[in-house]
Each structure stands twice: as C-alpha cells, then as structure tokens.
Amino acid sequence: MSRARRTAALWAARRMDPAFRDEAGFEAWKSDDPANAQAFDQVWRTNQDSALTEAMKLSEQRRLARRRQAGPIAALAGGLLACGLAVALAWPQLQLMTVTPTAFETARGEHRGVVLEDGTKVMLDGDTHLEVRLGTGRREVALTRGEAFFDVAHDEARPFTVRTAAGSARVLGTAFDLEVSDERGPERLELSVHRGRVRLAPEGLIRRTVDLTVGQRAFATEGRLSKVRTFDPLADDWRSGWLETDGVTLGRLVERVNRSSERRIVIADPELARQRVAGRFRLDEPATLVRNLALVHGFEVREGQGGLVISR
C-alpha cells in the first residue's frame, strides 16, 4: 500500500466529519504531488458505501442532540466523542479503500473460475465484471455486470460482502449465486443460496433486509425486496449450461442467454419483451431456444446483423 493511499484514506475520514475546516491544508497536500490527488480520487469514489453514510449521519444527529441539551464545553466534548466513534466504526471500510482492487472480467460466451487470495472460489458467467478488495477487517466485491457463483472461504473476522447498484449480499462463509440484471427496466440483484446463510439488502439508507438459507431465492430492486421463493440447489444451472424457471419475461431470458452465447439476440418489440415464458432452456444453443419458443408463443425469429431478431 503506498503512502499516498494511506494518507488519502485519512483525509477522506477527516472530510467526512461535518466539522472539517482544513480545506487549505487538504488542497496543499493534493497539489504537492499529482499522485496524492489521484490516490484521493480513487479512495473517495469508493466512499459512497451506505454503512459509512449511515454511521456519519447517526454521529451528526447525536452531536446536534447533545449540543441542544448541554452547554458549549459539554457539547464540544460530546461532538468530538461522537465523531470519533463514527470514524472508529467506519475504519474497517476506510482501510478497505486503501486496497487496490483486483478486476475480473469475461466476454460473452466465456466462463471463468478464479480463486481469491483468501481461498474464496468464484465462477464468472459470460459478460460479467467484478472488482475485489480484501482488507484486514472486511472483504468486498463490486459486481457491476453479469452473474457469478461464490464459494466463500469462512473467516468470522472478515465479513464478505458483494455490492451492486441495486443492493448487497453479506456472508461469513457460504456458497451462493448473484445475478445483476437491468434488461428494459431498473437494475435488480437476484440471490440464490446454495449453502449457509446470506443477508440480502436493497440499496438505500432505510431498508428491510432478509436472511436466506439453502434453497431460497429473492431479488432486490429500487430499494425493495421480492418475496422469498424456493429452488432446487442440486439442479443444473448456468454453470452446466442450463436455465430452469417457472416464469420469467422473455426480455430477462434473452439477457441471460446473451451472456452465455457469442451470438446475440435482439427483441424488436418492447411489448414482446414483457411476455412471460417458462421451462428448461439450454443456454449455449440460442437459435434452437428462441425458435422453439417462437413455435409455442407465436412470434417470429429472423437472421439480423450480428445475430437473431425476435419480432411479432
């Protein structure tokens, strides 16, 4: 870890304090070396973690309440104590910001297995991107696109969290599948638990969470949680080239197939994308899949530029 990144994390912690006033010192440090400004930008971009935001807001609320109830000296002491507590609570995340992320990415139609430094095994589906940070107090993955299966190495001292724009999943040691989807709609995060227990939380400061166990599945979108459903964790899934569903929109199915195949499918009619389909599908045979669906649901499939086009 470079000295610039360590100092950047400390400046980030100070700037989160509502009482921060040393802008001149901060600007002088940044202008002293281009590496300082770059390091701070990298740390600050990851500073939007909801846990940190909640801790600092709670600190500010308590500080203001004590200020109203106490004299100036007591209020100052209480404010310093509250801010110190918030920084202490946030320190594991601040330390994580100083860790340079390791990125993993796959192309459409590619599956890739990786083993992280802590022993966690990850299988990436096609068209998937994630970034990993393993800190001394926390382990965190940012899943920005696609789907991945996580077999997490158990470590009680370092919780393992996967974050997306739609929500997060947090575990200590287990096996689960996460999919990020935004086909013709808001992004959603779907969690399927294969072993252990995983907490699913939608994005937002005030949110309801749900703990899922083996054979349970749910998704988070727009700050809300779906109902918990069951599935067979022993059945074939995308890792063996199959997708089985009791009901999904055609748009979601096509998005899923497009990750597993180099041959792209496009739905020309937005209304058709909302039609629901069900069944067991072979993901690496897109032409056969959509033509069989066309026979059942009455739409057309034609060859288009770069792939297949579905229309009424």
The CATH label, of 3.90.1150.10, 3.40.50.720, 3.55.50.30, 3.40.630.10, for the domain at 238-311 is 3.55.50.30
Give residues with Cβ within 8 angstroms of 1, minimum separation 6: 98, 99, 100
Instruction: Select the more confidently predicted residue: 42 or 177.
Output: 177
Answer yes or no: is pLDDT of 12 > 80: no
Answer yes or no: is pLDDT of 19 > 80: no
- Please state, for a pLDDT cut of 90, what percent of the chain lies above it: 38
Integer Cα distance of 54 and 32 in angstroms:
33
Q: Please say whether the beta carbons of 180 and 162 come within 8 A.
A: no
pLDDT number for residue 83: 46
- Does the pTM exceed 0.75? no
Q: What is the rounded average pLDDT of the residues 20-29?
A: 81
Q: What's the chain's average pLDDT?
A: 81
Q: Please say whether the beta carbons of 140 and 118 come within 8 A.
A: no
pLDDT number for residue 34: 84
Integer Cα distance of 11 and 287 in angstroms:
54
Indicate the domain borders of the chain: 3-97, 102-230, 238-311
Q: Whose CA is closest to 173, among 200, 187, 194, 188?
A: 194
User: Which CATH class, in words, describes the domain spanning 102-230?
Assistant: mainly beta
Query: Which segments of 152-292 are extended strands (E)?
Result: 160-163, 167-171, 175-181, 188-195, 198-202, 210-212, 216-221, 224-225, 229-230, 242-249, 264-267, 276-282
Residue 207: Cβ within 10 Å count: 15
3-state secondary structure of 272: helix
Place of tokens 């106490």: 70
**Mind listing the pLDDT tens digit for each residue in 129-187?**
999 999 888 899 999 999 999 999 999 889 999 999 899 999 977 999 999 987 667 78
Q: Please say whether the beta carbons of 184 and 164 come within 8 A.
A: no
Answer yes or no: is pLDDT of 4 > 80: no
Q: What is the rounded average pLDDT of the residues 226-241?
A: 92
Answer yes or no: is pLDDT of 306 > 50: yes
